Amino acid sequence: MPRGAFIAVEGLDRSGKTTQVTNLETRFQAAGIDVKLLKFPDRTTAIGKMIDAYLRSQSELDDHAIHLLFSANRWELATTIERLLNEGTIVVCDRYAFSGVAFSAAKGLDLDWCRSPDVSLPAPDVTLFLDISPEKARERGGYGEERYEKEELQRKVRTIFSKISGEFSAEKWVTVDAGRSQEDVAADVWSFVEGFAAGVHSPLQRLW
Ligand code: T5A
Ligand code: NA
């Protein structure tokens, strides 16, 4: 029996990730396929609450410390992700380890140091990078409320995402132009993942 596919959706703040993963969930469900949506950071856990306070500038933390919390927040769910995939459920993640590396490295931390706590986490079968200019993202609702929602930082994050993308094959890392209408982006996103509805026969890989 094939396992479920592991799909990650990444992008800058306000690139439309939540909109697109929700749409994906609906489409897989409509096709009668088991799908589980996860979001990182998961702000509901004890670690997630610390991350939430930090992002809302209600607490201060060393850049390394918050980086490790983001990673720990993924490790909290690692066995759940594996279990779901082995049960044949498709797992769709709204952000994953690539955000972890891109945002911390954009703040000035060493890229390889940033990768290390995520080593051996389940690796996505495909990562969809929703690409948008920071100028365009800023025009969308709510921008500017949280710590990293500043155009200069977002520009650096985009550069690092672009560097990371170069490490993957074209089928593992798909860049989607997210500056278009929700419908156009959704059509592209679906075209890249609908093939996963049938499940995956290759074993789950590990980061990085
Ligand atoms: N972070 C995260 C780290 O530093 N390290 C880590 O390890 C991880 C996992 C919070 C922050 O944490 C950082 C990255 C972030 O700075 P978050 O909770 O995912 O991460 O916060 P956001 O990325 O900001 O999530 P948002 O929900 O704000 O943005 P989304 O999900 O990308 O966008 P979405 O779908 O909610 O849409 C935003 C707005 O735009 C509209 C929507 O209706 C909404 O109003 N919209 C569109 N408008 C026009 N055209 C389209 N195509 C649109 N699509 C959506
Ligand atoms: Na945000």
Per-residue pLDDT of 145-194, as tens digits, reads: 899 999 999 999 999 999 999 999 999 999 999 999 999 999 999 999 99
Note if the bond before 208 is cis, omega within 30 degrees: yes
Alpha-carbon distances of 71 from 53, 65, 183, rounded to whole Å:
16, 10, 32
Is residue 144 over pLDDT 80?
no
* CB-based contact 117:58 (threshold 8 Å): no
Q: Which atom of ligand 1 is nearest to the CA of 182?
A: 52
- Calculate how far, in angstroms, residue 98's C-alpha sits from the geometric centre of ligand 1: 14
Is residue 30 over pLDDT 90?
yes
Q: What is the pLDDT of residue 145?
A: 82
Q: Which atom of ligand 1 is nearest to the CA of 19?
A: 35
CA atoms of 97 and 178, how far apart (whole Å): 20
Q: What is the pLDDT of residue 206?
A: 98
CA atoms of 121 and 91, how far apart (whole Å): 14
Percentage, residues of the chain above pLDDT 70: 99
Structure tokens at 150: 């500043």
Q: Which of 142, 167, 141, 178 is nearest to 12 (CA)?
A: 178
Phi and psi at residue 62, to the nearest 5°: -60, 145
Buried b (16+ CB within 10 A) or exposed e, 42-71: bbeeebbebbbebbeeeeeeeeeebbbbbb
What pLDDT, in 10s, does the model give residues 62-79? Answer: 999 999 999 999 999 999
- Calculate how far, in angstroms, residue 182's C-alpha sits from the geometric centre of ligand 1: 14
Task: Quote the Cα angle for 85-16-113, to 5°.
Answer: 65
Average pLDDT over all residues of the chain: 97
Give mean pLDDT, residues 82-108.
98
ipTM of this complex prediction, to 2 decimal places:
0.97
CA atoms of 33 and 53, how far apart (whole Å): 36
CA atoms of 57 and 45, how far apart (whole Å): 18
Give mean pLDDT, residues 112-127.
98
Structure tokens at 65: 């410390």
Task: Say which amino acid occupies 96.
Answer: Y
Q: What is the pLDDT of residue 36?
A: 98
Is residue 143 over pLDDT 80?
no
Alpha-carbon distances of 44 from 48, 65, 125, rounded to whole Å:
6, 19, 26
* CB-based contact 1:163 (threshold 8 Å): no
**Top mutation candidate among 20, 73, 99 for ligand 1, by most atoms within 8 Å of CB:** 99
* CB-based contact 176:131 (threshold 8 Å): yes
Between 95 and 143, where is the model more confident?
A: 95
Is residue 90 over pLDDT 90?
yes
